[in-house]
């Protein structure tokens, strides 16, 4: 019968005792012990902070959406009856120098209107409450045009509860001019909203990002766990002499790592709390959140608290797997197995195999299968390079021969024990390859938007729409804009959508305007007020004499009362003036002069203005915006003047670059640890080399080459993999493949910097270890 071993409680007690002993060693190991503990703690702290931030993404998005929904009530289909507790509420958004400003106008119907979050009462007529960020912007000297555009008296600041984020530019103003059809009547603020859990694909993407970010941290952790291992092994050998078995020594080593992990966990929490304070300064894709909204869910936080220290302990045990400590202090290291190429090639090939079918699709389809394939394929490709790197380093270094002595020393050292350097550099490849691929994706997307905006923005034009009150309103707006400096041209019509009667779902586009305005749309020939025209080559339903509905249903289930209107039998056919194939082209079936249609009977009648401007006039667009806001603040602007994507993508790309740079520095720190460790182990050889008369510079060069070779190979692999992945991603979305060469060069530059940084910091210990003290044997 086999020995069942000690009972489970005794075994557990033994485990706890060994772990506790390890913790005691870590806490009382002197300067070196504390250095190792501190390094482990730093690695764990970074990992915990990154994971906590990742785990906060769903929560902060829910909070961000929740804040918007809690203060909003635009767009409902059925208005409540006017009463003491209702208020007319309209959007008055604007843009100032590219910054979007959320504006809301209110006009209470009675004495007890609802109040949105963040304020105790609604602003009175001519008053406004503003966000702190908008108050600052309004106070700036260059904001005169904005101050003219928002001519309300500031009576207070909107509290945090009424804002999505601390940097949000928003205001709520009381307006006596607000009247139907502008805005909506509401009796409360806040829309029903249930936070949606993250989809499995979204979860996968968050996990992938966290894993990609954590890889360098894990590498750093692995390196720091090995720090000072010779002294630890001597200590463990002493314990072996006292009767500890191998398993016990490993548990003691795990206990040491656990102590560092526990400190790291606490440090990570502090780092996370400090990092989230910066949330208010960051705006990505127009999302800016309060630090308090950056908080992980309870379950993810608990998992992080348990799993990260566990991973740290596992890394330590993994590092010990090839080492057996004998009671007499002899350390057996399992010889490094020969690296096989075929299985190392498997992950990247599998990754590419998952990604390639996605290229065949003409248009990217956002399905669960596609997202899973994309995430898994990208992950396999990225992590495949870390598997390939040790093989590549071994294959290249194994073939290097000759060269000067420093080069030979470095190459031989890499041939004999290049594992730790390669492991450290593995983190670089993931970080750099990922950063290059994502950079390429964003550069491609940004370039697409830039081109589109350049095309549509090539024509200096800005458009406005709002629900039409009357033709006179349009005339006033046109007059105002024509008097604005910088406005070169202004066209305006009232646009509406009509249906046939009985309904046929054959919607017709109507333009109402003076003869002068309609002549800009079509070649009319003779025209006077009272004329109606149908356009040539458009829908046959626009038949002179046909009865049309001015109040068509918004949705199939709607049954509004029809507002019949007869297309005059004498309506003449006229050709439209085409503006090209763009979205600005005229697409009307019917053109009518103002006296022929009662604008108030139109269900979907919008005043539509097209305004040209002169780019050479300073602030021409801002002047036009201010003029338009004075006429009707609830106008909706559509223009290609500001490309919001440019700012968003630039921010992300800069952030990515900074993150990659920090990662490279972290890897550099790991490399320093392993280099200094290696030097420490070789102090006797270094001293004897110095005795032979070897110059310090010679050994310095050997350290440089020893760092440079794996880093350069890692960078080459990372650039290749990053470009491949980036190309695949861009092809998937049918975007032009563009390489962000400055970023690639930047990454390579930082890689070079890491080499110099590691070498420079390794030189003082190198010289210290070359001292004659290392020759002493007594």
**Could you say whether residue 408 binds other proteins (CB under 8 A)?**
yes
Stretch that binds other proteins, among 139-147, 411-419, 466-474, 754-762 (CB under 8 A): 411-419
Outline where DSSP puts E strands in 27-117.
87-91, 94-96, 99-108
How far are the Cα atoms of 11, 443, 546, 748 from residue 431, in angstroms, in the given order? Answer: 42, 18, 67, 12
Q: Tokens 């009865």 label which residue?
A: 547
Stretch that binds other proteins, among 82-90, 143-151, 349-357, 415-423 (CB under 8 A): 415-423
Q: Which is nearer to other proteins, 148 or 688 (CB)?
A: 688
**Could you say whether residue 330 binds other proteins (CB under 8 A)?**
no
Residue 595 pairs in a beta bridge with: none
**Could you say whether residue 777 binds other proteins (CB under 8 A)?**
yes
Q: Which is nearer to other proteins, 578 or 695 (CB)?
A: 695
**Could you say whether residue 419 binds other proteins (CB under 8 A)?**
no
Residue 156: strand, helix, or coil: strand
Q: Which is nearer to other proteins, 88 or 229 (CB)?
A: 229
Of 122, 146, 409, 769, the residue at the interface with other proteins (CB under 8 A) is 409
Stretch that binds other proteins, among 173-181, 209-217, 379-387, 406-414 (CB under 8 A): 406-414
**Could you say whether residue 415 binds other proteins (CB under 8 A)?**
yes
Shortest separation between residue 308's beta carbon and other proteins, angstroms: 36
* Neighbouring residues of 154: CB distance < 8 A, sequence distance ≥ 6: 127, 128, 129, 130, 135, 138
Q: Tokens 């033994």 label which residue?
A: 14
Q: Which is nearer to other proteins, 196 or 684 (CB)?
A: 684
**Could you say whether residue 563 binds other proteins (CB under 8 A)?**
no
What does the DSSP assignment read for 72-90?
A: -----SSPPPP-TT-EEEE
Rounded-to-5 percentages of helix, strand, coil across the chain: 55, 15, 30
* Number of Cα atoms under 13 Å in the Cβ half of residue 195: 14
Of 684, 734, 742, 749, the residue at the interface with other proteins (CB under 8 A) is 684
Q: Which is nearer to other proteins, 559 or 776 (CB)?
A: 776
Q: Which two three-digit tokens encode residue 76?
A: 């409902």
Residue 26: strand, helix, or coil: helix
Q: Tokens 């033709």 label which residue?
A: 471
Q: How far apart are the first and last CA of the chain?
A: 52
**Could you say whether residue 741 binds other proteins (CB under 8 A)?**
no
Q: Which helix or strand (DSSP H or E) is residue 271 part of?
A: helix 246-276
Shortest separation between residue 696's beta carbon and other proteins, angstroms: 8
Of 144, 346, 416, 516, the residue at the interface with other proteins (CB under 8 A) is 416
**Could you say whether residue 698 binds other proteins (CB under 8 A)?**
yes
Query: Is 478:611 a contact under the CB 8 Å cutoff?
Result: no
Residue 335: strand, helix, or coil: coil
Q: Which helix or strand (DSSP H or E) is residue 454 part of?
A: helix 419-458
Q: Which is nearer to other proteins, 417 or 514 (CB)?
A: 417
Q: Tokens 């006039």 label which residue?
A: 617
Of 36, 413, 423, 653, the residue at the interface with other proteins (CB under 8 A) is 413
Indicate the angle between helix axes 368-399 and 419-458, nearest 10 degrees: 130
Q: Which is nearer to other proteins, 180 or 403 (CB)?
A: 403
**Could you say whether residue 4 binds other proteins (CB under 8 A)?**
no
Distance CA 248, CA 525 (A): 100
Shortest separation between residue 757's beta carbon and other proteins, angstroms: 24
CA 78 to chain centre: 37
**Could you say whether residue 688 binds other proteins (CB under 8 A)?**
yes
Stretch that binds other proteins, among 112-120, 484-492, 679-687, 737-745 (CB under 8 A): 679-687
Handedness of CA 425, 428, 434, 440 (dihedral sign): negative
Q: Which helix or strand (DSSP H or E) is residue 487 part of?
A: strand 487-500
**Could you say whether residue 440 binds other proteins (CB under 8 A)?**
no
Cβ neighbours, 10 Å, residue 482: 13
Q: Which is nearer to other proteins, 614 or 773 (CB)?
A: 773
Q: Which is nearer to other proteins, 217 or 414 (CB)?
A: 414
Shortest separation between residue 333's beta carbon and other proteins, angstroms: 11
Q: Which is nearer to other proteins, 129 or 683 (CB)?
A: 683
**Could you say whether residue 693 binds other proteins (CB under 8 A)?**
yes
**Could you say whether residue 412 binds other proteins (CB under 8 A)?**
yes
Q: Which is nearer to other proteins, 207 or 775 (CB)?
A: 775
Of 685, 712, 716, 737, the residue at the interface with other proteins (CB under 8 A) is 685
**Could you say whether residue 396 binds other proteins (CB under 8 A)?**
no
Q: Which is nearer to other proteins, 404 or 742 (CB)?
A: 404
Respond yes or no on whether the N-terminal peptide bond of residue 181 is cis (omega within 30° of 0): yes
Shortest separation between residue 345's beta carbon and other proteins, angstroms: 28
What does the DSSP assignment read for 625-660?
A: HHHHHHH-TTPEEEESSS-HHHHHHHHHHHHHHHHH
Shortest separation between residue 418's beta carbon and other proteins, angstroms: 10
**Could you say whether residue 97 binds other proteins (CB under 8 A)?**
no
Of 369, 691, 733, 760, the residue at the interface with other proteins (CB under 8 A) is 691
Residue 176: strand, helix, or coil: coil
Of 120, 176, 692, 741, the residue at the interface with other proteins (CB under 8 A) is 692
Number of residues engaging other proteins in binding (CB under 8 A) = 26
Shortest separation between residue 770's beta carbon and other proteins, angstroms: 10
Distance CA 462, CA 624 (A): 9
Q: Tokens 């912007």 label which residue?
A: 137
**Could you say whether residue 335 binds other proteins (CB under 8 A)?**
no
Distance CA 316, CA 310 (A): 10
Shortest separation between residue 403's beta carbon and other proteins, angstroms: 9
Q: Which is nearer to other proteins, 676 or 699 (CB)?
A: 699
**Could you say whether residue 229 binds other proteins (CB under 8 A)?**
no
Handedness of CA 409, 413, 415, 420 (dihedral sign): negative
Respond yes or no on whether the N-terminal peptide bond of residue 6 is cis (omega within 30° of 0): no
Distance CA 638, CA 457 (A): 11
Stretch that binds other proteins, among 238-246, 309-317, 405-413, 532-540 (CB under 8 A): 405-413
**Could you say whether residue 682 binds other proteins (CB under 8 A)?**
yes
**Could you say whether residue 723 binds other proteins (CB under 8 A)?**
no
**Could you say whether residue 405 binds other proteins (CB under 8 A)?**
yes
Query: Is 543:567 a contact under the CB 8 Å cutoff?
Result: yes
Shortest separation between residue 772's beta carbon and other proteins, angstroms: 5
Query: Is 567:617 a contact under the CB 8 Å cutoff?
Result: no
Query: Is 400:356 a contact under the CB 8 Å cutoff?
Result: no
Stretch that binds other proteins, among 226-234, 402-410, 502-510, 590-598 (CB under 8 A): 402-410
Stretch that binds other proteins, among 18-26, 91-99, 291-299, 404-412 (CB under 8 A): 404-412
Shortest separation between residue 778's beta carbon and other proteins, angstroms: 5
**Could you say whether residue 292 binds other proteins (CB under 8 A)?**
no
Q: Any idea how long the chain is? A: 778
Q: Which phi and psi angles does 429 have, rounded to 5°?
A: -65, -45
Of 82, 234, 600, 695, the residue at the interface with other proteins (CB under 8 A) is 695
Stretch that binds other proteins, among 19-27, 413-421, 483-491, 543-551 (CB under 8 A): 413-421
Cβ neighbours, 10 Å, residue 397: 20
Q: Which is nearer to other proteins, 190 or 698 (CB)?
A: 698
Distance CA 282, CA 288 (A): 6
Positions that interact with other proteins (CB under 8 A): 402, 405, 408-409, 412-413, 415-417, 682, 684-685, 688-695, 698, 772, 775-778
């Amino acid at each position: 019968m086999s020995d069942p071993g000690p009972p489970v409680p005794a075994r557990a007690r033994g485990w706890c005792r060994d772990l506790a002993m390890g913790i005691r060693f870590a806490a009382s190991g002197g300067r070196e012990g504390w250095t190792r503990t501190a390094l482990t703690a730093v690695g764990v702290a970074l990992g915990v902070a990154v994971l906590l931030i990742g785990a906060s993404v769903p929560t902060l998005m829910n909070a961000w959406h929740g804040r918007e929904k809690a203060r909003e009530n635009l767009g409902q289909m059925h208005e409540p009856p006017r009463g003491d507790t209702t208020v007319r509420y309209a959007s008055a958004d604007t843009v100032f120098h590219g910054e979007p400003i959320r504006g809301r106008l209110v006009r209470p119907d009675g004495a007890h209107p609802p109040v949105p979050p963040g304020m105790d009462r609604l602003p009175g007529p001519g008053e406004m409450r503003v966000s702190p960020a908008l108050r600052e912007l309004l106070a700036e000297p260059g904001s005169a045009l904005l101050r003219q555009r928002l001519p309300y008296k500031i009576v207070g600041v909107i509290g945090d509860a009424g804002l999505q984020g601390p940097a949000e530019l928003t205001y709520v103003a009381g307006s006596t001019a607000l009247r139907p059809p502008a805005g909506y009547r509401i009796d409360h603020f806040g829309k029903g909203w249930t936070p949606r859990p993250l989809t499995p694909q979204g979860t996968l993407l968050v996990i992938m990002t966290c894993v990609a970010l954590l890889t360098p941290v894990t590498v750093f952790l692995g390196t720091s766990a090995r720090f000072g291992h010779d002294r630890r092994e001597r200590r463990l050998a002493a314990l072996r002499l006292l009767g500890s078995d191998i398993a016990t020594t490993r548990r003691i080593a795990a206990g040491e790592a656990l102590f560092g992990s526990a400190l790291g966990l606490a440090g990570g929490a502090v780092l996370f709390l400090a990092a989230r304070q910066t949330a208010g300064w960051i705006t990505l894709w127009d999302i800016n959140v309060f630090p308090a909204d950056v908080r992980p869910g309870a379950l993810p936080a608990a998992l992080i608290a348990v799993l990260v220290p566990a991973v740290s302990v596992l890394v330590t045990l993994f590092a010990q797997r090839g080492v057996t400590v004998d009671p007499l202090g002899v350390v057996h290291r399992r010889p490094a197995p020969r690296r096989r190429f075929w299985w190392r090639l498997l992950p990247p090939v599998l990754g590419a195999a998952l990604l390639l079918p996605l290229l065949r699709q003409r248009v990217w389809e956002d399905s669960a299968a596609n997202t899973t394939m994309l995430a898994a394929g990208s992950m396999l490709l990225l992590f495949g390079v870390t598997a390939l790197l040790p093989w590549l380093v071994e294959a290249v270094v194994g073939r290097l021969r000759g060269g000067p002595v420093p080069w030979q020393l470095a190459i031989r050292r890499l041939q004999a024990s290049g594992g730790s350097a390669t492991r450290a550099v593995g983190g670089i490849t993931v970080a750099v390859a990922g950063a290059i691929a994502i950079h390429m994706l964003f550069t491609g997307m940004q370039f697409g938007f830039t081109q589109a905006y350049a095309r549509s923005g090539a024509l200096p034009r800005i458009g406005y729409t709002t629900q039409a009150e009357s033709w006179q309103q349009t005339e006033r707006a046109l007059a105002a804009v024509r008097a604005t400096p910088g406005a070169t041209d202004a066209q305006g019509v009232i646009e509406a959508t009509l249906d046939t009667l009985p309904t046929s779902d054959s919607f017709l586009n109507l333009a109402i305007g003076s003869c002068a305005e309609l002549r800009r749309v079509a070649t009319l020939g003779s025209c006077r007020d009272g004329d109606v025209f149908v356009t040539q080559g458009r829908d046959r339903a626009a038949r002179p004499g046909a009865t049309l509905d001015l109040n068509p249903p918004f949705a199939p289930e709607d049954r509004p009362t029809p507002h019949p209107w007869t297309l005059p039998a004498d309506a003449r056919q006229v050709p439209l003036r085409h503006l090209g194939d763009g979205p600005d082209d005229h697409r009307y079936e019917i053109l009518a002069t103002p006296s022929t249609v009662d604008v108030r009977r139109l269900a979907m009648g919008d005043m539509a203005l097209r305004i040209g401007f002169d780019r050479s006039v300073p602030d021409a667009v801002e002047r036009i915006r201010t003029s338009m806001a004075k006429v009707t603040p609830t106008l909706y602007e559509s223009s290609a003047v500001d490309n919001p994507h440019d700012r968003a993508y630039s921010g992300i790309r800069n952030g990515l670059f900074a993150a990659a740079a920090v990662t490279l520095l972290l890897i550099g720190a790991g490399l320093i640890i392993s280099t200094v460790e290696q030097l420490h182990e070789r102090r006797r050889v270094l001293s004897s080399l110095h005795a032979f008369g070897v110059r310090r510079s010679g050994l310095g060069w050997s350290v440089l080459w020893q760092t440079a070779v794996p880093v350069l190979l890692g960078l080459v692999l990372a650039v290749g993999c990053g470009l491949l992945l980036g190309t695949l991603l861009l092809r998937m979305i049918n975007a032009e493949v563009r390489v962000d060469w400055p970023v690639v060069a930047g990454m390579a530059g930082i890689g070079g910097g890491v080499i110099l940084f590691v070498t420079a910091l390794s030189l003082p210990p190198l010289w210290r270890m070359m001292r004659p003290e290392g020759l002493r044997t007594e």
